[in-house]
Amino acid sequence: MNAATPASGLQPGGRINEALPIKPVKIAVLTISDTRDEESDTSGHVLAGRVTEAGHQLAAKAIVPDDVEAIRRQVLAWVGAGVEAIVTTGGTGITGRDVTPEAIRPLFDKEIDGFSVIFHLVSYQSVGLSTLQSRALAGIVKGCFVFCLPGSNGAVKDGWDKVISAQLDSRHGPCNMVELMPRLMET
């Protein structure tokens, strides 16, 4: 299934021009969990696989606990190392240990408000009203795109396959986030 005809049936109003070469993006995957390790990190593995299958460079992959300072440290380290996009999985729920939005939102130079709207629209097609339990968000931290997804495999697949992948594909038209990367730090 290509980006123009996602499994949800939604029509995103764009398409991939497969005649053009893809510009690989340096993407890091961060799993946020107190309980997962490298072996049990299924959502992180799903994301990492999709990143490389899409023709991008998996710049890094890590797991940090549900801890505001640990999350911020890892994100800022990758931003400082030249990572162009970070996709997190986990910690976006509404329980006491879910702190990803509290950790990430203060780092944003700009929040991408539409990401949450579109993610919930896509998620609703898969899980119905349960999408209300997610606080998925996205924004820009010092010129790096940061997308925060829930920790389930289904949410990661929906978020990457139906939202993020097209916007991080330089061949997606009429526009995409890759073409904005050189201008993110303009003043």
Domain ranges of the chain: 22-177
Q: What is the pLDDT of residue 178?
A: 97
Q: How far is CA 172 from CA 122, 140, 156, 184, in A?
A: 19, 20, 20, 18
**Domain 22-177 fold:** Molybdenum Cofactor Biosythetic Enzyme; Chain A (3.40.980)
Local mean pLDDT, 10-residue blocks, the chain (187 residues): 43 80 97 94 97 98 98 98 98 96 98 97 96 97 98 96 96 95 94
* Omega prior to 174 cis, within 30 of 0: yes
Q: What is the pLDDT of residue 14?
A: 85
Residue keyed to tokens 């510009």: 23
- State the first-to-last Cα distance of the chain, in angstroms, to the nearest integer: 39
Per-residue model confidence as pLDDT tens digits over 60-84: 999 999 999 999 999 999 999 999 9
Q: What is the pLDDT of residue 12?
A: 52
d(CA 167, CA 171): 9
**Helical segments of 25-132, H only:** 42-53, 68-80, 100-104, 113-127
Q: Find out whether 91 and 151 touch, Cβ atoms under 8 Å.
A: yes
From the number of C-beta atoms within 10 Å of its C-beta (0-12, 13-18, 19+), residue 41 rates as: buried
Q: What is the pLDDT of residue 3?
A: 43
Q: What is the pLDDT of residue 150?
A: 97
